[in-house]
Each structure stands twice: as C-alpha cells, then as structure tokens.
Amino acid sequence: MAHNIKSFIATLEKHHPEEIVRVTKGPLKPHEAECHALLYHLERQSKWPMAVFENVVTLNGKRWPGLLQTQADGTFSKLAVACGLPPERWTAEGLINTLHEHSTVPQKTVVVKKEEAPVKHTVITGSDMDFRDLPAYRKDAKDARPGWFCGVAIGREIKSGRYNLSWHRLLLHGPQSAAARLQYRHLWSYLQGYRDAGHEEMPCVWVLGHYPTFMLASSVRVGYDVDEYDYAASLMGEPLRLTPSETWGEDFLVPADAEILLEGYLHCTERGLNGPWTDYMRYYSPQTLEPIFRPTAITMAAEPVFDAHIARHDLYHATSLALALTRTLKQAYPRVRAAYVPAPFVAVVQFQPDHPGESTRVGLLTLLAAGDFVKNVIIVDTDINPFDIHEVLFSLGTRVDANTYQVQKIGDLDANRQDPAPVSYMRTGGLIIDSTKPTDRPFPELGNPDQELLERIKLTDFVSEERARTLLSGLFLNLHPTIV
C-alpha cells in the first residue's frame, strides 16, 4: 500500500504517541496564526511534536472538512519513523545515512488511473475554485495578510520534460490569484525557458500535503539531469504513484497520493507582491515582486490533510541539504564521513585529512555543492560528532588558531535572497574553518576512557534502563530537535 500523510499520522498515534499531539478543540483560525501559537508554547518547553488540528476554519469562515497538520519534520525521530528505522537509529546520522543508501537504489514511478488516485476524490474547477476555501495560514506577527500556502511546487522543463520538485510559498491575493516566491534555481530557470520560447505562462502544480519522505525529497538539490519524481521514489524506497492532471492530462503527471493539489499556471512576466514572511532562517524577508499563479483545478483527497509547514526549525531543509552535501563530498573525497547543516548557512563536515591543504579543498567543494545555502564551513575530525553542536564548539575552541591557514575568508560569494546579513545586494563573504588536527606536526592526544573498562562496567548493571532514560544531563540542555 502506498504511503500517505494519513498513514503516517496513524503510525505515530499508534506506536509513537509522544511524537504527535491532536487538538480537537476550536474552531481555530490558521490565518490568525492561532494554530502555530500552540507550537510556539511547546517550543519553549523544547517540544517539537507533529500537531494535528481537527477544528479549523478557512479564510471564508467555513469549517475545514479535513485536518490541518504541521511539523511532520519537527524531529529527526519522526523523519526516521517515516523511513521505517528502528529506535536505535533515530538520530541525524542514522537518518542521513539511510536516506543516502535509499538514494542510490533506483525506484520507478507508476501511473495509475484517476479512479485509483486518492487525490481525485474532489475536483474543483472554473468559478467554483476559491483559495479562501482552503485553510491558508500565518505563523508570525508581521506575516503578510490574508494568508499563505507553503508547499512543493512541481514544474516540467519545456525541452526535456524533466520534472522538478521544490518548496515555494504562495501569498494569496484573491480567490484565484497568488504570488509565488521563487529562488533563482531550477523552477526559476524553467520559467525563463517558457518565456524565451514565447509562452506567457508555465504549467505548475502545488502539493499541499504528502508523505514526509516525499516532502523531504522535494527539498534535496539534485542535478539538472535528474528527474525528481524518480529521485523522490528512490528516497521513499517505493514506487511513486502518479496520475494524469486535470488540466494537461498525461502531458503533466501529478502525485496520486497527495492530499491537495493546486493545478495552474505561473505567469512569465506578470508580478505581484509577496512578503513579509519568515522562512527557516527566522528573519522576515522583505516584500518582493514575484510571479503570479492562477489556478485551473483544485483536487483533494477525502477528508484532506492540509500541510501548514512552519518553516522555522526546518529539518526538511537541514536533512536534505546534509544528504546532498554528503553525496557530493563522498564522491570526491571518500574519507568524508558526514556533512550536516546545524544552522542557516552553516555546514559542518566530518573529514580525516592526510596532508596539509586537503581540508581547504573539501571546504571549497562544500561551498560549491551547497550553492547559496551555505557560506560558512566548519571541518572537524572523525573523533568529533558533527551532529552535536557542543562537540563542534569544543573542536573550535581547542583545535583552531585563527592566526594560521585554519581560518580562511572567502570573498564575493553569491548570497541567498533570504540571507539578512549581506551589506551588498546578493553578495556575501564566507568562512572555511579547518578544525581538524594538523597533519604536519604533533598534536596532543584526546583523553578517552578505557574501552575494555567500558565493556566490563555496564551502566545497566548498576542503574535500571528506565531510570537511565529519565536522568537529565547536568552539563547541557538540548534545546533543538537536531539532538535526539
């Protein structure tokens, strides 16, 4: 049976109730940020559960007939559950390694008839379409009104027919109009291709709810030669079911097991205001003029689950970027163990250099592979856990001399549109910090307990497993879902 978000919710509620909270009271107004206010209260207690809301209203004030969910990617453990991993692998490292393995095993897409596609349960076209009948939402105090959709946009390249999956947000302008904020990557280049070919509009589809690994796959940067439907199938570990669209039929296939699809066109030249809104870097982006999207069909599953992505501590983004970096770096430098993105625009790479200058090349490749998503690279030894920010800081404090080659400033990098730091428009500087031990001179040995002693003196022989799980760390309190 194909996976969907409903099956994921059922799995969490049955087997991992600590990872999910269901809110039955209401009605709540997502467009007034009432749903996300509850998440902020939980965040202050270091809790990031998936939240499912049963009683929400749309912009038109109607009761939403399905559910509204958010924070399916709130913790690595939830993403690990989506991948079917056992609890001992519910870590960032276990998840990324598993996803890397999945990405190397090709999976096929399969086309099913419309009658077999859950997303075709309800089909709305023509004057009956109204964005205000969906639970558009806001998250923060100064988010633009009236509300937003944030999901996976599907585009198809005009010459090759290659499908692209990528996250973008829509600010509603009216019942059948919205402005889509696009980054200068694949979907943007597709739009320019349609314009150059003399078209006024480009076919585009928004996915507002699907299984977490599909949504995660849509975050990963892959090459222009890769059809991202195929890549999503590989990451999901099963064939991806597709079905003909309402607007273009078999010329544009759509995910059969999605919850909500917005079919329509992005205009190649017409622009509208988009912003302000806070993305994963948590700063408001300014208002910009972005392509206008007009719908041609809205299709939904029965009792649809609307994805109100919080885009705050975005583990879809962090995990997908780590996966892309790990794949690229390992191909060129097999001694790279892992790569991770613990904060916006910062990458940590675990690497064992064997001669001076090698870490610098790894750092430069990281900047290249991540594009404008990374500007600062920290390279750590294999005895430092790159997924534990405390160990990374320990490495910086005890292994880096800023008077040496270990700290290098890289100038004139192209900046991410969402980066609030650059002084010059779309230009920024970067850092490569080589926090590895030198290979050309002696360095003190790091103290570690005796391994034979650890194997002989076991904690569970003296403290019960239940008690051990309830003990709190007296040194660090982990305040972010990157540590599980």
Q: Which amino acid is at 132?
A: R
If pLDDT is split at 50, 70 and 90, which confidence band does 79 have? very high
> Is pLDDT at 210 greater than 60 in this prediction?
yes
> Is pLDDT at 296 greater than 90 in this prediction?
yes
For the segment 79-107, the average pLDDT, to the nearest whole number, is: 90
Residue 430, token pair as written in the block: 């970067």
Q: Is the peptide bond before 146 cis (omega within 30 degrees of 0)?
A: yes
If pLDDT is split at 50, 70 and 90, which confidence band does 295 have? very high
pLDDT digits (tens, 9 = 90+) for 228-268: 999 999 999 999 999 999 999 999 999 999 999 999 999 99
For the segment 340-351, the average pLDDT, to the nearest whole number, is: 95
For the segment 43-52, the average pLDDT, to the nearest whole number, is: 91
If pLDDT is split at 50, 70 and 90, which confidence band does 472 have? low
Find the range with the poorest average confidence among 63-67, 216-220, 278-282: 278-282
If pLDDT is split at 50, 70 and 90, which confidence band does 475 have? low
Can you give the pLDDT at residue 473? 53
Mean pLDDT rounded to a whole number for the chain: 93
Residue 363 vs residues 223, 329, 410, 478: alpha-carbon distances, Å: 20, 10, 10, 28
Cα gap 286→19, rounded to integer Å: 34
> Is pLDDT at 442 greater than 50 in this prediction?
yes
Can you give the pLDDT at residue 1? 66
Residue 97, token pair as written in the block: 């390694």
For the segment 445-469, the average pLDDT, to the nearest whole number, is: 87
Query: Could you give all domains of the chain from N- to C-terminal order, each with its CATH number?
Result: 5-307 (2.30.110.10), 333-434 (3.40.1670.10)
pTM of the model: 0.91
> Is pLDDT at 360 greater than 90 in this prediction?
yes
Cα gap 89→326, rounded to integer Å: 18
Can you give the pLDDT at residue 484? 41
3-class DSSP state for residue 477?
Answer: coil
Q: What percent of the chain has pLDDT over 70?
A: 96
If pLDDT is split at 50, 70 and 90, which confidence band does 88 have? confident
pLDDT digits (tens, 9 = 90+) for 361-380: 999 999 999 989 999 999 99
> Is pLDDT at 52 greater than 90 in this prediction?
yes
> Is pLDDT at 57 greater than 70 in this prediction?
yes
> Is pLDDT at 471 greater than 90 in this prediction?
no
> Distance from CA of residue 316 to its chain's centroid?
2
> Is pLDDT at 146 greater than 50 in this prediction?
yes
> Is pLDDT at 352 greater than 90 in this prediction?
yes
405-437 burial, b if ≥16 CB within 10 A, otherwise e?
ebebebeebebbbbbeeeeeeeebbbebbbbbb
> Is pLDDT at 290 greater than 70 in this prediction?
yes
Work out whether the CA dihedral 212, 214, 218, 221 comes out positive or negative.
positive
For the segment 470-474, the average pLDDT, to the nearest whole number, is: 61
Can you give the pLDDT at residue 468? 76
> Is pLDDT at 479 greater than 60 in this prediction?
no
Can you give the pLDDT at residue 182? 92
If pLDDT is split at 50, 70 and 90, which confidence band does 474 have? low
Can you give the pLDDT at residue 239? 94
DSSP state string for 101-147: HHHTS---EEE--GGG-GGGSEEEEGGG--GGGS--B--STTPPSS-
424 CB contacts (<8 Å, ≥6 apart)?
A: none
For the segment 302-328, the average pLDDT, to the nearest whole number, is: 91
For the segment 268-273, the average pLDDT, to the nearest whole number, is: 98
Cα gap 378→325, rounded to integer Å: 13
E strand spans, 157-239: 163-174, 177-181, 201-207
